Amino acid sequence: MDALAKTREAKIKRWQEITLKANLELARLKKKWRLE
């Protein structure tokens, strides 16, 4: 695997982590809104 492919995969993995965290945050906010 060349360096370019490695950095691209690292970027993709980081984006997946970011979107996952964002989705979890959204879910938590939605729960809060329902409770109020």
- State residue 16's pLDDT score: 98
Q: Quote the CA–CA distance of 2 and 9 in Å, as a whole number.
A: 11
- State residue 10's pLDDT score: 97
- State residue 1's pLDDT score: 67
- State residue 36's pLDDT score: 77
**DSSP-derived 3-state class of residue 2:** coil
Question: How many residues in total does the chain contain?
Answer: 36
Tokens matching residue 16: 């997946």
What Rg do the C-alpha atoms of the chain give, in angstroms?
16
Q: Quote the CA–CA distance of 13 and 15 in Å, as a whole number.
A: 5
pTM above 0.75, yes or no: no
Model confidence pLDDT, tens digit, residues 1-36? 689 999 999 999 999 999 999 999 999 999 998 987
